[in-house]
Amino acid sequence: MTPPSGSTNPLRDPQDRRLPRIAGPSGLVLFGVTGDLSRKKVMPAIYDLANRGLLPPGFSLVGFARRDWADQDFAQIVHDAVKEHARTPFREEVWKQLSEGFRFVPGNFDDDVAFDNLRRTVEELDQLRGTGGNMAFYLAIPPAFFGTVVGQLEEHGLADGTADHWRRVVVEKPFGHDLASARELNDVLAGVFEPDEIFRIDHYLGKETVQNILAMRFANNMFEPIWNSNYVDHVQITMAEDIGIGGRAGYYDGIGAARDVIQNHLLQLMALVAMEEPIAFDAESLRLEKQKVLASAVLPRRLDTTTARGQYAAGWQGGEKVIGFLDEEGIATTSATETFAAITVEVETRRWAGVPFYLRTGKRLGRRVTEVAVVFKRAPHLPFTSTATEELTQNALVIRVQPDEGLTMRFGSKVPGTAMEIRDVNMDFAYGGSFTEASAEAYERLILDVLLGDPPLFPQHEEVELSWKLLDPVIEHWAKKGKPDTYDAGTWGPPSADAMLARSGRTWRRP
Ligand code: BG6
């Protein structure tokens, strides 16, 4: 009998990840409780985790903000957020147990008394709820305040992880606005916390479909042999949104689409698509392979023709008239911030030499969709008449990250009939059709991983640096050129984006 090939090696994955992963005694201190991120993502995710039985019974949540609130006021805020945004049904008994562990500490970030109170609260929770002193500090606040807050945590004895209890800090992007500021930010964090105590959230890595890129590539034998420049023509990574900037002018203006999305989500997606097989599925091995991709990624020489950027003008979206970016509340009429960005990246490795990676993102585009399309070269020879293959385009494998999660394979097939006519068809895998359980929200997975101290899904500082290193020249180039092009809301970006691909005879997919 042939021995089974491709067997798994238990030594390579010391934690059996099929077992339910349940957090041990712990709590979380949330800074920035009034922000969108806390209300829409963090609070609902904590409830959903509790509802799924993945939090310890004594789990505690402490809110810290400049508000004159009592514990009940904070509980009401969390309650409203959960009711509006949680993924799983509201269950009174789950809520009751969870909310008994809610505390609120009022104060400014530079207020010593408030941080003394915070320390006392953390100690009390340890006594009352058995958190074991294990606390994660979640900074859902603008990066400008990171320094003050982590400084206070250190000064007030809150950042002192020991062999008996852990302390972790969770930070959200933007990790700086360029390479230099990212380094400064890292110095601030690294001055107080050890590298393995710092959890940087890139919520795309918490998405099931994004994790599935690695399963698809490395658990199967049919994709990897063609996953290289011999077969792949180019790769398109699209993250399109139909929404505008909403109430986020303060954050978005001056940041723009490239810093907001390409620097983190899209370059991480690219790294997962392009990386070599890791020797194990642990954080160190994964990061190492992603880092190699980012370190070998370069921009083409001519940035004016290989990048594109735009700003949405008024237009129609979903049958509704919407305003342009410059008319949004809080945006200066002279703003040069881009709401659409596209770049070309070349990965200089044997596997990818000559295969462009096109990355694009934008607000107010045709529809909300994130996908990775691996587009293959044409067959070297077509033994048909040219009319038979007129409607045949290139084979493609499309990883549908969201919505409508799944995978599409596009290839040519004979149209039934007496003549030989070949046309593109799609073969489809949809999560909904294969799995009964709905995917968890990215934040559920990531918060659980923080509480478990499980780091594979969190980018390390080196990856952040390499991503800025790649992107900085593009942003500098655009800054020199002044205002971006415009595109009508509801379309797929400015004409310059189409021109960027048309130069090499390629076109963007219309997802
Ligand atoms: C965030 C960006 O990281 O991702 C937002 O800052 C964007 O601008 C959001 O809207 C999109 O996330 P998702 O999960 O809805 O694709």
| Residue 405 near ligand 1, beta carbon < 6 Å | no
Residues 421 and 488 in one domain: yes
Would the annotation count 173 as a binding residue?
yes
Three-state SS annotation for 417-451: CCCCCEEEEEEEEEHHHHCCCCCCCHHHHHHHHHH
Same domain, yes or no: 364 and 219: yes
**CA–CA separation, 43 vs 95, rounded Å?**
12
262 falls within a domain: yes
451 alpha carbon to ligand 1 midpoint, in Å?
23
Based on the fold, state whether residues 224 and 140 are members of the same structural domain. Answer: no
CATH number for the domain spanning 223: value is 3.30.360.10
- Residues 164, 247, single domain; the answer is no
Q: How many residues does the chain have?
A: 511
- Are 168 and 293 part of one and the same domain? no
Atom of ligand 1 nearest to the CA of 248: 8
> Per-residue confidence of the chain (511 residues) as pLDDT tens digits?
444 444 444 444 445 556 679 999 999 999 999 999 999 999 999 999 999 999 999 999 999 999 999 999 999 999 999 999 999 999 999 999 999 999 999 999 999 999 999 999 999 999 999 999 999 999 999 888 999 999 999 999 999 999 899 999 999 988 999 999 999 999 999 999 999 999 999 999 999 999 999 999 999 999 999 999 999 999 999 999 999 998 888 889 989 999 999 999 999 999 999 999 999 999 999 999 999 999 999 999 999 999 999 999 999 998 899 999 999 999 999 999 999 999 999 999 999 999 999 999 999 999 999 999 999 999 999 999 989 999 999 999 999 999 999 999 999 999 999 999 999 999 999 998 999 888 899 999 999 999 999 999 999 999 999 999 999 999 999 999 999 999 999 999 999 999 999 999 999 998 8
For residue 199, is it within any domain? no
Which residue's alpha carbon is nearest to atom 9 within ligand 1? 261
Q: How far away, in angstroms, is 261 Cα from ligand 1 center?
A: 7
**Do the bridges between strand 356-362 and strand 232-240 make them parallel or antiparallel, or are there none, so unpaired?**
parallel
- Distance of CA 115 from the midpoint of ligand 1 (Å): 31
Position 510 in a domain:
no
Q: Are residues 294 and 152 in the same domain?
A: no
Q: Are 491 and 339 in contact (CB under 8 A)?
A: no
Q: Would you say residue 181 lies in a domain?
A: no
Q: Show the domain range for 82.
A: 27-172
Expressed in angstroms and rounded, the spacing between residue 248 Cα and the centre of ligand 1 is 12
- Residue 17 has a pLDDT of 56
Among 130, 154, 172, the domain boundary falls at 172
| Ligand 1 binding pocket includes 260 (Cβ within 6 Å) | yes
- Cβ neighbours around 319 below 10 Å, total: 6
Asked, for residue 476, whether it belongs to a domain, the answer is yes
Q: Buried (b) or exposed (e) across 432-448, using 16+ Cβ within 10 A?
A: eeeeeeebbbbbbbbbb
Active site residue 265: yes
Task: For residue 162, tell me if it sits in a domain.
Answer: yes
Same domain for 287 and 152?
no
Same domain for 347 and 450, yes or no, is yes
Q: Which residue is closest in CA terms to ligand 1's atom 10?
A: 241
Q: Which atom of ligand 1 is nearest to the CA of 239?
A: 16
List the catalytic residue out of 156, 177, 234, 265: 265
Is 21 part of a structural domain of the chain? no
CATH code, domain carrying 157: 3.40.50.720
Beta-sheet strand order (sheet of 167-172): 102-106, 60-65, 27-31, 135-139, 167-172, 198-201
Q: Does the Cβ of 197 fall within 6 Å of ligand 1?
A: no
Q: Which of 294, 310, 309 is nearest to 345 (CA)?
A: 294
Ligand 1 centroid, distance to 339 Cα (angstroms): 13
Q: Does the annotation place 289 within a ligand binding site?
A: no
116 known member of a binding site: no
In ligand 1, which atom is closest to the CA atom of 442?
A: 14
**pLDDT at residue 3 in the model:** 44
Asked whether residue 358 falls in the same domain as residue 307, the answer is yes
Find out whether 260 is annotated in a ligand binding site: yes
Closest among 359, 377, 343, 199 to 273, alpha carbons compared: 359
Residue 247: Cβ-neighbour burial (10 angstroms; 0-12, 13-18, 19+)? exposed
| Nearest-CA residue for atom 15 of ligand 1 | 241
Domain ends where: 153, 172, 191? 172
Of 196, 223, 241, 219, residue with least CA distance to 456: 196
Q: Ligand 1, from 260, 443, 444: best to mutate by most atoms within 8 Å of Cβ?
A: 260
Structure tokens at 45: 């995710």
pLDDT given at position 9: 46
How much is the pTM?
Answer: 0.94
How many angstroms is it from 510 CA to the middle of ligand 1? Answer: 20
* Cβ–ligand 1 contact at 371 (below 6 Å): no
Total domains, the chain: 2
Residues 153 and 252 in one domain: no
In a domain, 198, yes or no: no
- Residue at which a domain ends, from 172, 191, 222: 172
Does ligand 1 have an atom closer than 6 angstroms to the CB of 449? no
Do 80 and 222 sit in the same domain of this protein? no
Residues 256 and 385 in one domain: yes
Tell me the C-alpha distance between 299 and 468, whole Å. Answer: 12
